[in-house]
């Protein structure tokens, strides 16, 4: 369980996306089975991306008896026309759809009302101007119909500005190995931590592309500055467990919301709970994506053991969080460590084990200087 920013909500580190479970009443039995099993296994965060009548009704049935244990997120701006999804910024339509969703779900409130899929900065301006969807979200919060206001986006610069704005308590953003090297991603996540904004990591499997054996995935290469997407073959060792382990180890992530389409796929996800350290170890995969090699720590802890018992991955993660501005939260977490960076003897034992050529000694020096 992890805290979701400053919302006061505590969420299971694995949640569920719901877009692949079917939208019509034919899926009702499967959805009920999936939700029951998920809740039994500690999943409490459910992201309801759509507002289709039958889809919502399926979750009304599936959530029965669980409501007070659940954190339900819905999306303002996700609407239906002739049986198809469409995105709208019309406040009138958003409110009508939201009201209908609440009533169909049979609940008085949702935990998080997300301003849905803000594509870029131009859309950010649109959804945050006076009289916009953000105003609606705030009004719903005032009326007790939504307990927290969130935003979902795939754009790191939107994450940055939304986190700094003080207008959003939760940000849903994609975090996976395919965007590991995306310029600005880690800085944006660090800003979320600094500002106490909860991060819900969507697409841990990059929309399933990371699990397509013998296929390829497009990634943004760090060394090339993020301009052109390149295509790399998926390493054979890629598994759902490793994808989840990667996503959950990244800065600021409170929960991740993989989408499942069946009980079997839910079982694959739940197997993360009992997975061994070796089954979770994603370092070889990231290492094999050569373009990721740029001295950037991915917090895999492959450099351990340290003779001084320094938790190198954890300290480097805190260092990355604190680098922009010293966060009290990072300092607090640093204070909890049994061994701090200043215990580093510069023996160099870790350096040869790091698959990513990270200058660990320099990072330990920086951390020792930065943290009091």
- Taking the least distance from each CB to ligand SF4, the nearer of 163 and 358 is 358
- Taking the least distance from each CB to ligand SF4, the nearer of 116 and 308 is 308
Q: Identify which of 269, 197, 300, 359 has the alpha carbon closest to the alpha carbon of residue 14.
A: 269
The nearest distance, CB 246 to ligand SF4, in angstroms, is 11
The nearest distance, CB 351 to ligand SF4, in angstroms, is 7
Check the CA dihedral 255-260-266-269 and report its sign. Answer: negative
Q: Are the CB atoms for 51 and 41 separated by under 8 Å?
A: no
Number of H helices, E strands in the chain: 14, 14
Q: How many Å apart are CA 254 and CA 9, to the nearest integer?
A: 10
- Taking the least distance from each CB to ligand SF4, the nearer of 122 and 278 is 278
Q: How many Å apart are CA 4 and CA 18, to the nearest integer?
A: 20
Residues 6+ apart with CB under 8 A from 153: 117, 118, 119, 124, 159, 162, 171, 172, 173
The nearest distance, CB 232 to ligand SF4, in angstroms, is 19
Q: How many Å apart are CA 21 and CA 27, to the nearest integer?
A: 7
- Taking the least distance from each CB to ligand SF4, the nearer of 46 and 299 is 299
The nearest distance, CB 3 to ligand SF4, in angstroms, is 23
- Taking the least distance from each CB to ligand SF4, the nearer of 88 and 288 is 288
The nearest distance, CB 296 to ligand SF4, in angstroms, is 7
The nearest distance, CB 135 to ligand SF4, in angstroms, is 43
At how many degrees (to 10) do helices 53-63 and 28-40 cross?
A: 40
The nearest distance, CB 136 to ligand SF4, in angstroms, is 43
Q: How many Å apart are CA 240 and CA 160, to the nearest integer?
A: 28
Query: 230 φ, ψ to 5°?
Result: -110, 165
The nearest distance, CB 242 to ligand SF4, in angstroms, is 14
3-class secondary structure, 101: helix
Whether the ω angle into residue 167 lies within 30 degrees of 0, i.e. cis, is no
Q: Are the CB atoms for 130 and 166 separated by under 8 Å?
A: no
Q: Are the CB atoms for 291 and 342 separated by under 8 Å?
A: no
The nearest distance, CB 193 to ligand SF4, in angstroms, is 18
- Taking the least distance from each CB to ligand SF4, the nearer of 83 and 305 is 305
Which residues here bind ligand SF4, judged by CB under 6 A?
Answer: 283, 297-303, 306-308, 310, 312-313, 316, 344-350, 354, 356, 358, 360-361, 364
Extended beta strands in 12-116, E state: 16-17, 45-48, 71-76, 78-81, 84-87, 110-115
Q: How many Å apart are CA 199 and CA 121, to the nearest integer?
A: 19
Q: Which residue has the tokens 């669980």?
A: 66
- Taking the least distance from each CB to ligand SF4, the nearer of 78 and 249 is 249
- Taking the least distance from each CB to ligand SF4, the nearer of 79 and 300 is 300
- Taking the least distance from each CB to ligand SF4, the nearer of 23 and 333 is 333
């Amino acid at each position: 369980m992890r805290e979701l920013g400053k919302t006061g909500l505590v969420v299971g580190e694995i949640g569920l996306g719901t877009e692949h479970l079917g939208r019509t009443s034919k899926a009702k039995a499967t959805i009920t089975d999936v939700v029951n099993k998920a809740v039994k296994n500690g999943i409490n965060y459910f992201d309801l991306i759509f507002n289709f009548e039958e889809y919502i009704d399926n979750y009304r049935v599936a959530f029965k008896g669980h409501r007070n244990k659940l954190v339900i997120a819905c999306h303002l701006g996700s609407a239906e026309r002739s049986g198809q999804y469409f995105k709208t910024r019309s406040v009138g339509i958003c409110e009508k759809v939201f009201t209908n969703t609440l009533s169909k779900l049979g609940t008085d409130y949702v935990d998080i009302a997300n301003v849905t899929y803000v594509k870029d900065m131009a859309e950010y301006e649109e959804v945050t101007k006076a009289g916009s969807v953000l105003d609606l979200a705030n009004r719903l919060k005032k009326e007790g119909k939504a307990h927290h206001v969130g935003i979902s986006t795939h754009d790191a610069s939107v994450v940055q500005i939304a986190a700094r704005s003080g207008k959003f308590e939760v940000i849903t953003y994609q975090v996976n190995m395919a965007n590991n090297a995306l310029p600005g991603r880690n800085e944006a996540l660090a800003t979320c931590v600094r500002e106490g904004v909860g991060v819900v990591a969507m697409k841990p499997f990059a929309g399933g592309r990371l699990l397509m054996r013998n296929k390829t995935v497009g990634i943004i290469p760090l060394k090339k500055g993020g301009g052109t997407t390149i295509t790399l073959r998926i390493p054979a060792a890629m598994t759902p467990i490793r994808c989840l382990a990667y996503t959950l180890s990244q800065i600021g992530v409170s929960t991740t919301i993989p989408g499942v389409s069946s009980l079997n796929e839910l079982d694959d996800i739940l197997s993360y709970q009992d997975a061994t350290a070796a089954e979770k170890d994603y370092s070889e995969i990231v290492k094999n994506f050569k373009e990721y090699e740029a001295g950037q720590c991915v917090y895999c802890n492959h450099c351990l053991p340290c003779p001084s018992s320094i938790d190198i991955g954890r300290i480097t993660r805190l260092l990355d969080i604190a680098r922009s501005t010293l966060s009290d939260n990072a300092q607090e977490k640093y204070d909890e460590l049994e061994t701090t960076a200043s215990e580093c003897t510069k023996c160099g034992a870790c350096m040869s084990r790091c698959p990513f050529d990270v200058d660990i000694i320099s990072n330990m020096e920086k951390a020792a200087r930065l943290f009091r």
